[in-house]
Amino acid sequence: MPYYQVRQCESQGQEPGAIVRDARQAAKNLWPRGYPATCIHGQQICRHNAWHVYTTPLLETWVLHELRAVIAIRNAGGQLHYWRTSWGSEVDFVWIRGSRAVGIEVKTASTWRREHGAALKQLMADGVVKSGHGVYTGSVTLKDGPLHVWPLDRFFTELTAGGILE
């Protein structure tokens, strides 16, 4: 069975789209190309003027669910938090267990820019988190100062192998 099914988008006229069955394959093959899609739960993900309004929360939610799954499967414990300052800087996920803290910043960008990890690098400099990881939709593993920056599929591989939360 393919990871998607082509369909007509009723809410946006006759624009083509897809019903997603395998989110990993969709993120790798459909979303970077900008194809509109409807996930199997029915939430509309269309590439129009507000493309990032739809994809950013979905990508962050997907990473959150993968983090929760790995924490449960590995019996890692700890807690996941969201971090935000009063002036608006944020880090998507901070996992804390005892004295161990890991920060993760998720971006829908296909190119990682240094400013994407600015808040996480500040958390690391302040000693709040010990290690930091950036996740983006590009294809190259990078190093941004103290941050390890991963393409989405490589991040999931490292997370599952235990390389992110260890």
pLDDT score at 49: 33
pLDDT the model gives residue 29: 52
User: In Å, how far are 48, 70, 108 from 30, measured between CA atoms?
Assistant: 15, 25, 13
Residues with pLDDT less than 50, the chain: 1-21, 30-53
Residue 28 has what pLDDT? 52
pLDDT of residue 7: 43
- Contact between residue 137 and residue 152 where contact means Cβ atoms under 8 Å apart: yes
Beta strands in the chain (DSSP E): 4-9, 15-20, 37-39, 44-45, 79-84, 90-97, 100-106, 131-136, 142-144, 147-151
pLDDT of residue 39: 41
- 2: alpha, beta or left, given left = phi > 0 and alpha = psi -120 to 50? beta
Global pTM reads 0.69
Query: Which domains occur in the chain, in start order?
Result: 4-48 (no CATH), 54-161 (3.40.1350.10)
SS3 content of the chain, % helix, strand, coil (to 5): 35, 30, 35
Query: Which phi and psi angles does 8 have, rounded to 5°?
Result: -90, 140
Supply the pLDDT for residue 85. Answer: 73
At residue 30, the 3 state secondary structure works out as coil
